[in-house]
């Protein structure tokens, strides 16, 4: 054999070895992605391949020389020498042995890690992290990730794991240099963990709510309830010089304050400047200083007319009412001019609105306004404070003894005692937050009481406004819209038949046009434009079909939350968290309802009102919905005997109209739906449509929903549904409006089980 032939044999062997090594490394990489392996597995693979390389080279060279000798001297004896050891057969046997060593090592590690009681199996741990994050139990998920981290050998798996439970967060302060401490929001005695000094960037800050404390010598300490996962920065926190803060007060950073409270959502937002709010409720000990200081004798701080039943009382007449159980000046809960033994640090209770105002004046402060109170309480996101607050039914507790902290560091805004605020509704005064014997959802309710009401649960908290900009508007009279659905009744069938005619439309040609098609591993999405059932822009419809669908699929009609009203670009439209519908093997049908996305109109809110504009939009939404179902009926890939409805928030509230007006819907799921508190024209009122719902319906709600209060909204919604027995299921969880964040696993399971039951299981 020539030298050129031997070189060719060597390069061929090296080429085959390189190709085989590349394939093996790819297999290891795939295994590492799907079965997380420690870093030494990859190093072991490289070591074995490195050890095999010189053996392969030696075998190729020696066998090449042997072949050349055989060609030059066929009778020569080649049964001795290195070529007897370095044979291709022995090379293959060595490769098998190396592979066996690799397999035994990896399998042993997997078995050892799975059976070890010292930590999580990696695969099981990752699955548990996903389950916990879906249920918003970020603390437990983060703890598992921290325990699992040393066992995860693949960087991409580690990155994905930490992205499920944390994000990068920068905490800053003015001045800089403050020590930052963090601990879990619950339990309240969780240990503090030092994060560094400001400005500090934490690469893996846990999602969810936690308590953060900033300390700096010569400055007032700050403790806040911080929700991570939304912002990449917290601060800068203003560290006031020691002794410069009003005693017992905390600073609250102002902003655009909305009232996400039932009956008040229709009110405009107000820009409020920074202000101070009492960290705790006023105590008996503190109020005693007002009593002992002659507060009930000096009219200087009693600046509001004493109005009762259309009559104005004199100062003396009013003071005759503001006495304790023994007729002495003081709260109604006191006796002999003082509070009961052992209650000095309990919140004062049994005071009227007039007394609360006078006490605030005595301290040189004010009562909060509705806007300032709710801006800090933040009931939309403040549900985690409720389980840690005093709703035990055993009366008030010492202030601050419960751990329900709201965002700027106040305590007891939920429960303990109700708190008077400045605003009136014309007759009563707002008293909010709920007391210890009130139901937990009282935290979300904006209720009023007569200003002379001296119930034992009536207390107060102080506010101070260094900048009075906008204070007059924030203190103005507020007339909440409230409907007592316990005394209302849906309209009769005869009247409803008249309303139904408003929703009729001519079944004209759809003129459907396929605009685009997009494909992912999960779905095929088609955008279609078709003629609407009214004069106006064409209806845009997005149809998501599972990528692996092989026959007719069950279409689930979607009605979104009100955020779609403010969207204007279809590029941002996606199933989002509702992709579980597609993963279940069903089609997800997403119409762009009039007033949403690129079909925007003058509509600016989902809050119902009595205008003709709003009524006409409701009717158009129903027509959009049914027009979309009309289109689905023209397709061979849709199972029209199994049409479902899925609505969330706004879509849950509108669900009764959509489902009642289209009998083709065979099952419905309403996430956090309920009855709104605002008046609306009867023909567009979901309350009148509830009894006409005939499809089996699942309601999934949060007990502390800040939009749909449980007793006033959710209960009558469920009671008036036109289905009963096994065709109606009501699930109420200990969450606020965001049940898909707090109870994702349960909410998905309930919805899919409901569709499986009433539409049929998907193959």
H or E element that contains 591:
strand 587-591
* 3-state helix, strand and coil shares in percent for the chain, rounded to the nearest 5: 40, 20, 40
State the residue for tokens 């009926």: 633
**How far is the C-alpha of 15 from the C-alpha of 619, rounded, in Å?**
71
Cα 735–chain centre separation: 10
Is residue 587 a contact partner of residue 555, using CB atoms and an 8 Å limit?
yes
Backbone angles phi, psi at 691, to 5 degrees: -65, -15
The pLDDT tens digits for 571-619 are 889 898 899 999 999 999 999 999 999 999 998 888 899 999 999 999 9
Residue 709 CB partners (closer than 8 Å, separation 6+)? 262, 441, 444, 445, 674
Q: How confident is the model at residue 49 (pLDDT cuts 50, 70, 90)?
A: confident
Both tokens assigned to 741: 């964040």
In this predicted structure, what is the pLDDT of residue 81?
59
Residue 168 CB partners (closer than 8 Å, separation 6+)? 201, 202, 203, 204, 205, 232
Residue 488 has pLDDT above 90, yes or no: yes
Query: What order do you get walking across the sheet with 539-546 strand by strand?
Result: 513-519, 523-530, 539-546, 587-591, 555-559, 643-648, 665-671, 697-702, 728-733
**70: three-class secondary structure by DSSP:** helix
Residue 659 CB partners (closer than 8 Å, separation 6+)? 645, 665, 668, 693, 695, 697
Residue % of the chain over a pLDDT of 70: 89
The pLDDT tens digits for 446-477 are 888 899 999 999 999 999 999 999 999 999 99
**How far is the C-alpha of 383 from the C-alpha of 707, rounded, in Å?**
12
- Rounded to a whole number of angstroms, the CA Rg of the chain reads 35
Closest CA to 423 of 378, 379, 366: 366
In this predicted structure, what is the pLDDT of residue 117?
41
In this predicted structure, what is the pLDDT of residue 118?
43
State the residue for tokens 């800090």: 376
The pLDDT tens digits for 236-281 are 999 999 999 999 999 999 999 988 887 888 889 999 999 999 999 9
Is residue 406 a contact partner of residue 413, using CB atoms and an 8 Å limit?
yes
User: What's 339's DSSP letter?
Assistant: P
612 by Cβ neighbours in 10 Å (0-12 / 13-18 / 19+) ranks as exposed
Cα–Cα distance list, 487 to 106, 230, 483, 490, 712 (Å): 70, 41, 9, 10, 11
**302: three-class secondary structure by DSSP:** coil
Dihedral sign from CA coordinates of 312, 313, 314, 315: negative
State the residue for tokens 């400055």: 219
The pLDDT tens digits for 624-671 are 999 999 999 999 999 999 999 999 989 999 999 999 999 999 999 999
Mean pLDDT of the region 396-411: 93
Cα 748–chain centre separation: 14
H or E element that contains 518:
strand 513-519
The pLDDT tens digits for 326-350 are 999 999 999 999 999 999 999 999 9
Arithmetic mean of pLDDT over the chain: 88
The pLDDT tens digits for 695-714 are 999 999 988 776 788 888 99
Q: What is the pTM of this model?
A: 0.70
State the residue for tokens 């092989």: 550
Least confident segment among 152-161, 178-187, 402-411: 152-161
User: What's 438's DSSP letter?
Assistant: S
In this predicted structure, what is the pLDDT of residue 39?
60
**How far is the C-alpha of 563 from the C-alpha of 96, rounded, in Å?**
60
**455: three-class secondary structure by DSSP:** coil
In this predicted structure, what is the pLDDT of residue 231?
66
Dihedral sign from CA coordinates of 383, 388, 391, 397: negative
In this predicted structure, what is the pLDDT of residue 116?
47
**How far is the C-alpha of 763 from the C-alpha of 760, rounded, in Å?**
9
Residue 235 has pLDDT above 90, yes or no: no
Residue 119 has pLDDT above 60, yes or no: no
**How far is the C-alpha of 177 from the C-alpha of 235, rounded, in Å?**
13
Buried b (16+ CB within 10 A) or exposed e, 256-266: ebbbbbbbbbe
Is residue 674 a contact partner of residue 717, using CB atoms and an 8 Å limit?
yes
């Amino acid at each position: 054999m020539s030298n050129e032939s031997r070189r060719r044999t060597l390069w061929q062997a090296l080429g085959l070895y390189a190709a085989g090594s590349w394939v093996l490394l790819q297999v290891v990489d795939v295994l590492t992605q799907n079965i997380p392996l420690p870093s030494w597995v990859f190093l072991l693979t490289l070591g074995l391949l490195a050890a095999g390389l010189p053996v392969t080279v030696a075998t190729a060279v020696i066998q090449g020389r042997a072949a050349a000798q055989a060609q030059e001297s066929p009778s020569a004896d080649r049964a001795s020498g290195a070529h007897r050891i370095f044979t291709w057969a022995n090379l293959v046997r060595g490769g098998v042995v190396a592979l066996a060593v690799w397999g035994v090592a990896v399998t042993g590690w997997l078995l050892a890690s799975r059976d070890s009681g010292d930590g999580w199996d990696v695969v099981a741990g990752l699955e548990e992290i996903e389950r916990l994050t879906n249920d918003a139990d970020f603390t437990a998920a983060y703890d598992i990730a921290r325990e699992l981290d040393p066992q995860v050998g693949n960087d991409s798996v580690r990155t994905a794991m930490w992205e499920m439970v944390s994000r990068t967060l920068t905490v800053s302060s003015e001045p800089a240099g403050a020590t930052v401490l963090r601990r879990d929001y619950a339990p309240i005695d969780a240990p503090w963990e030092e994060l560094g000094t400001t400005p500090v960037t934490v690469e893996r800050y846990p999602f969810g709510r936690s308590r953060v404390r900033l300390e700096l010598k010569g400055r007032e300490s700050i403790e806040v309830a911080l929700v991570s996962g939304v912002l990449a920065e917290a601060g800068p926190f203003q560290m006031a010089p020691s002794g410069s803060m009003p005693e017992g007060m905390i600073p609250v950073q102002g902003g655009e304050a909305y009232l996400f409270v039932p009956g008040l959502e229709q009110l405009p937002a107000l820009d409020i400047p920074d202000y101070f709010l009492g960290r705790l409720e006023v105590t008996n000990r503190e109020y005693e200083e007002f009593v002992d200081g002659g507060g009930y004798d000096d009219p200087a701080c009693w600046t509001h007319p004493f109005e009762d039943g259309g009559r104005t009382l004199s100062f003396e007449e009013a003071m005759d009412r503001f006495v304790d159980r023994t007729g002495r000046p003081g709260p109604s809960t006191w006796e002999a001019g003082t509070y009961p033994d052992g209650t000095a640090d309990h919140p004062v209770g049994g005071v009227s609105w007039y007394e609360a105002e006078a006490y605030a004046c005595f301290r040189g402060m004010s009562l909060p306004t509705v806007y300032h109170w709710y801006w800090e309480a933040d009931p939309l996101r403040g549900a985690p404070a409720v389980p840690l607050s005093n709703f035990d039914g055993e009366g008030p507790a010492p202030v601050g003894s419960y751990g329900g902290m709201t965002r700027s560091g106040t305590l007891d805004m939920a429960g303990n005692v109700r708190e008077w605020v400045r605003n009136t509704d014309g007759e009563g005064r707002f008293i909010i937050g709920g007391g210890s014997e009130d139901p937990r959802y009282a935290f979300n309710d904006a209720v009023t009481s007569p200003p002379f009401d001296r119930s034992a649960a009536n207390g107060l908290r102080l506010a101070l406004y260094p900048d009075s900009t906008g204070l007059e508007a924030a203190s103005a009279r507020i007339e909440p819209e409230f409907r007592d659905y316990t005394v209302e009744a849906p309209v009769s069938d005869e009247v409803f038949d008249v309303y139904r005619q408003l929703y009729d439309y001519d079944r004209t040609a759809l003129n459907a046009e396929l605009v685009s098609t997009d494909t992912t591993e999960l779905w095929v999405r088609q955008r279609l434009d078709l003629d609407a059932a009214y004069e106006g822009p064409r209806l845009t419809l997005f149809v998501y079909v599972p990528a692996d669908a092989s026959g007719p699929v069950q279409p689930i009609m979607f009605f979104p939350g009100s955020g779609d009203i403010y969207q204007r670009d279809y590029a941002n439209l996606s199933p989002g968290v509702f992709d579980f519908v597609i993963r279940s093997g069903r089609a997800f049908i997403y119409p762009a309802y009039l007033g949403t996305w690129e079909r925007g109109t003058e509509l600016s809110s989902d809050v119902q009102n009595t205008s003709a504009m709003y009524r006409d939009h409701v009717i158009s939404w129903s027509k959009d919905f049914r027009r979309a179902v009309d289109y689905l009926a023209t397709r061979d890939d849709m199972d029209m005997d199994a049409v479902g409805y899925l609505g969330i928030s706004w879509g849950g509230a509108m669900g009764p109209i959509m489902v009642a007006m289209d009998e083709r819907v065979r099952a419905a799921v309403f996430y956090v739906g309920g009855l709104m508190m605002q008046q609306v024209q009867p023909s567009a009122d979901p309350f009148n449509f509830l009894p006409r719902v005939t499809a089996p319906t699942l309601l999934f709600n949060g007990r502390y929903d800040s939009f749909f209060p449980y007793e006033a909204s959710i209960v009558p919604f469920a009671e008036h549904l036109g289905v009963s027995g096994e065709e109606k299921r009501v699930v109420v969880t200990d969450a606020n409006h965001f049940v898909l964040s707090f109870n994702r696993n349960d909410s998905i399971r309930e919805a899919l089980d409901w569709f499986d039951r009433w539409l049929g299981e998907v193959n």
